[in-house]
Chain A
């Protein structure tokens, strides 16, 4: 166990901005950490906050939601709804005792490849500081 703990981050990126931003980071050869596992959704407003809980339950050490900047949403207002939901879910998980660093949200536009790399770095750092997620991870039973 001499190896350093490498957290798993599940990222929900919106199709129009953040996914394109991550793509830009890739095509412009910006290095970003491989801990992040990306799930593409059509809008950050598509992300049910229960996705976060489910991800944490099934083995993620941290989660990241990323969408267009406020006002830039492809669907005009999806990220505003996402913001309200995220703020409340963040507070709720913090209240239950989940380290607040595990739950992150960011605004990344399609032209912000470098910002995406930074956001991933910051999420990984926070999750590393919080350590492995073992509070309510689902126990796998091998019958």
Chain B
């Protein structure tokens, strides 16, 4: 785990440079098991930066949020860079955004942090109850130490870490200008067992499952807003000409919304699990995304967010792509 002093030292150094406009990182949350993402503009704010197992958020989501306002006559646009702190999984989002040319590599400074897993708020609350104070958590070996209100508690890694961490193949950042802390060893692999398990169901049961899940959806669009890959200026679900999906929250429109959301992430989802984490009604959104990730890997031998030089999946083709369902 990276030392906080080292992290703040580097952040201070980066932010002090003339070419940096903002720095995105994490600070201690106000309560509960999650840190809070923060955007710093000045060196004096650097002291609040932290990194530990509570830093679940994906700062890559914020890079594309900057509004590019028209510049008044006679003024030059602000071309200074944005510095961003990323874990291994977050760095895949940066890679995928670079692949899609959301911004240039020169526009960002990436501070990579090797990560040993982050905790899942839902799991932690089940184990230790809700917390009204900010929690400090750290991983050591197979244990996770959680400090709730000055009281230290320990849990097994698999009981408290996010599901994505238990199948993390990229604990070290794939792209970084500065690496903070030492690289960690990969501890898990992804077999897509959960997808296989779901696939065993017959279509009627699958629909019964999704009928129940999609009926809960209140269409708050949190999953879209938090997604690092959902940075379209005009989103298909909010535009009215053509209107792809109506705004009513019935099963028909909810289903179509979720199919659209998953579809637009086909071959792009980097599995940071932010969508599922922020869902207020606990819809297992990643079940859809993981299915597509698995199929993309199987059919097209493609993995998003790994190689900056790769082409976006649906913007290229191979003449010998699979076509077993085509008559």
Contacts and interface: CB of A to CB of B under 8 A. Distances in A.
Interface in A43-70: 49-50, 53-54, 57, 70
Contacts, number: 113
Interface stretch (B72-80, B173-181, B250-258): B250-258
B116 to A, nearest CB: 32
Nearest to B260: A50
A6 interface: no
B4 to A, nearest CB: 43
A95 interface: yes
A11 B236 CA distance: 23
Q: Is the interface of B mostly helix, strand, loop or mixed?
A: helix
Contact of A91 (B204, B236, B291, B323): B291
Nearest to A104: B327
B183 interface: no
Contacts of B246: 138
Interface residues of A, number: 39
Interface stretch (A19-27, A32-40, A79-87): A79-87
23 contacts: A50-B236, A50-B263, A57-B256, A80-B317, A83-B317, A83-B321, A84-B300, A84-B313, A84-B317, A87-B322, A88-B292, A92-B262, A92-B291, A95-B198, A95-B291, A96-B206, A97-B209, A98-B207, A100-B203, A100-B325, A104-B325, A107-B326, A107-B327
Contacts of B267: 88
A64 B79 CA distance: 49
A139 B203 contact: no
A95 B288 contact: yes
Interface in A61-120: 70-71, 77, 80-81, 83-100, 104-107, 119
B208 interface: yes
B263 A92 contact: yes
A114 B34 CA distance: 62
A105 to B, nearest CB: 5
A137 B252 contact: yes
B244 interface: yes
Given A71-B319, A91-B295, A136-B252, A97 B260 contact: no
A70 B207 CA distance: 33
A105 B325 contact: yes
A70 B319 contact: yes
A88 B207 contact: no
B317 A97 contact: no
A135 interface: yes
A80 B206 contact: no
B319 A86 contact: no
B259 interface: yes
B250 A98 contact: no
A81 B319 contact: no
- Which of A83, A104, A119, A137 has most chain B Cβ within 10 Å? A83
Contact of A87 (B205, B262, B299): B299
Contacts of A53: 256, 259-260
A3 to B, nearest CB: 24
A80 B262 CA distance: 21
Interface in B19-47: none
Interface in B282-327: 288, 291-292, 295-296, 299-300, 313-315, 317-319, 321-323, 325-327
